[in-house]
Chains A and B, each alone.
Chain A
């Protein structure tokens, strides 16, 4: 495995580096005090890596996750996603990046309760401006890929927790994103279902998908090939499993 690129401000990441953060800082102004959630995080993730981000609560992993997911902008530092510097983009440009480059999987699934599985999976394609017929085809394909080809017309409350998370994974994948970004994907699932979902992640990784997963459970993190641990807003450890 090659060494990480020596990155300085003004450089451009190497072509196979999907995620690069350089001195990434995020402060929250809480009025009376300034909370320094991230104090200069340097992380590089290459294409087709499977990375777990760990750390105790308050370590800054949620903040990092929001920044990597382009839901938030850093106070200082750089963030490059798939060769594009996104740390200084504005709201609507970030929305576009989220749509094209990132597939989210949340702890609470975050499906629209009134919409069918198929419509939920179609959502990112609506904002990508894909025609109705194209959307249906691609959403159906994504659902079939996660083993829910026969549940397309079910509403979320007619599905089990594992099935709901599969719908969310299908939704995350439907736009062929550069990274699959999962935030405690098994937090609301029992252990059997958790193993099942981890199986899906593993399969996706083998098919070439880059996966970043935030978790606080060590046995879930163990599925990843690399574990980054945060503490007090800094990278504490960065371990690769021997392949």
Chain B
């Protein structure tokens, strides 16, 4: 018998017994759907965390020189207290570090706090108040929708000007043009000179509720003690340049703080990788647990198929006898039943792939996670599905092939 005939027979049999075949393939279906779905979700979260989350918080090829990390997930109390005891980053530190770079970089000061912004009697609460210098907009890639960012002169002079986040502008001004209007932050007036393009949201939190003012403007009183910044943001042109800049910044800071060689840094330089450390830990766990769950589903699926095939062999003993009497060899019968179980498993896998893709498309539409189905996972789904079919089919098919034709023909 030609291999193609075995496939044709298998399809005929599956068509004739749709319900039974449907039940047989459910296990593999679920396993493969889970494989594709989970894989695409983890992949999507990966992309999201590396590109969006870390990119938004820190920026590409960028590091933040800070007193202590501001993004962390599990820190014990003593570490936390040690961080709090560290000296703050001063204006003078930031100036010195920026002045000592030999690598081409752009830098900005950055301080923030939360507070209210008022216009014409309306108050927007819980707004991120940011005190920065002029290159901040370039570093964070903030595009100005209308108006302009503040200039180097305004930054140096500490002019009372602000650039608004999109949501904040909408909330305070509605349809009126905010440019050249005056908003008040803790009773200090600031002239609105620009509005930043909409940034969207991150894990459901709006990224457009902020106001940016020059670090030396009166806002410095709201965000930090005198002469202190939260961070010096440094952006280089490449990962290598960033590394070099980090070395230079570290050297400058250590010498300014008179740290001896064995003393640890009492400041940090956060990169997007640092922010991602937690996520990497989590995704390692997911990558370890995921295959286990898929494996369980597939083993169950395999056992279901094996049982249904054993039942089929018992039910079709007479058919096997007839086929043998007409000249079917052992391998013909083996092939026929193996083809059946592989076909069932493969159909299950195919439906599973479809469901997995559907799941990831749904996820893409309903959540900000960019879930993508990797071709690798589809290939794996097919291979694993077919493999389960082979493993589950071997035993029943062998039993069928070994049947004695005389005994098989006698069966009612």
Partner-B contacts on A (CB < 8 A) = 66, 69, 71-72, 91-92, 95-96, 98-100, 104, 106, 110-112, 114, 123-124, 126-129, 171, 175
Q: Are A100 and B326 in contact (CB under 8 A)?
A: no
- Can you spell out 18 A-B residue pairs with CB atoms less than 8 angstroms apart? A66-B406, A69-B325, A71-B405, A71-B406, A72-B406, A95-B327, A95-B330, A96-B329, A98-B325, A99-B327, A104-B325, A106-B409, A110-B321, A123-B322, A123-B326, A127-B326, A128-B327, A129-B2
A92-B330 CB under 8 A given contacts A126-B1, A126-B5: yes
- Identify 8 new A-B residue pairs, CB closer than 8 A, beyond the known A98-B326, A99-B327, A106-B409: A69-B325, A96-B327, A98-B327, A112-B319, A112-B322, A124-B326, A124-B327, A127-B323
Residues of A within 8 A of B323 (CB): 123, 127
A124: chain B residues within 8 A (beta carbon): 326-327
CB distance from A172 to the nearest CB of B (A): 9
Interface string of B395-408 (1 = CB under 8 A from A): 00000000001100
CA distance A145 to B319 in the complex (A): 25
Report the minimum CB–CB distance from A206 to chain B (whole Å): 25
Q: What separation, in Å, do the CA atoms of A96 and B330 have in the docked complex?
A: 11
Report the Cα distance A126→B328, complex, angstroms. 9
In the complex, which residues of chain B have a beta carbon less than 8 angstroms from the beta carbon of A112? 319, 322
Chain B, interface size: which category?
Answer: 20 to 34
Query: Contacts A110-B318, A112-B322, A114-B16 hold; do A95 and B1 have CB atoms under 8 A apart?
Result: no
Closest CB in chain B relative to A46 CB, distance in Å = 24
A111, B325: Cα distance in complex, Å:
12
Q: Which of A66, A100, A106, A110 contacts B327 (CB 8 A)?
A: A100
Query: Is B325 a contact of A71 with CB atoms below 8 Å?
Result: yes
Chain B residue with the shortest CB-CB distance to A95: B329
Docked complex Cα distance between A34 and B220 (Å): 108
* Closest CB pairs A-B (n = 6): A99-B327, A127-B327, A95-B329, A92-B329, A124-B326, A110-B322
CA distance A72 to B324 in the complex (A): 12
B331 within 8 A of A: yes
Residue of B nearest to A115 (CB): B12
Residues of B within 8 A of A106 (CB): 409
Highest count of chain A CB atoms <10 Å: which of B1, B321, B323, B327: B327
**B319 and chain A: residue at smallest CB distance:** A112
Also in contact, A171 and B327, with CB within 8 A (given A110-B318, A126-B5, A129-B1): no
CA–CA, A126 and B324, complex, Å: 12
- Nearest A residue to B318 via CB reads A110
Closest residue of chain B to A171 (Cβ to Cβ) is B326
With a CB–CB cut-off of 8 A, which chain B residues contact A123?
Answer: 322-323, 326
Question: In the complex, what's the smallest C-beta–C-beta distance from A152 to chain B, in angstroms?
Answer: 17
Q: What 1/0 flags go to B274-312 for Cβ under 8 Å of A?
A: 000000000000000000000000000000000000000
8 Å CB interface, B145-180 against A? none
The CA of A128 and the CA of B321, in the complex, are separated in Å by 17
Residues of chain A within 8 A (CB-CB) of B330 are 91-92, 95
B332 part of interface (Cβ distance < 8 Å): yes
Complex interface: chain A residues within 8 A of B326 (CB)? 98-99, 104, 123-124, 127, 171
Which B3-56 residues have C-beta < 8 A from chain A?
5, 16
Q: Which residues of A contact B331 (CB under 8 A)?
A: 92
**A168→B374 CA distance, assembly (Å):** 53
Judging by beta carbons under 8 Å apart, are B332 and A127 in contact? yes
CA distance A95 to B401 in the complex (A): 12
**Contact between chains at A110 and B409 (CB < 8 Å):** yes
Chain A residues near B332 (CB-CB < 8 A): 95, 127
Which chain B residues border A99 with CB–CB below 8 Å? 326-327
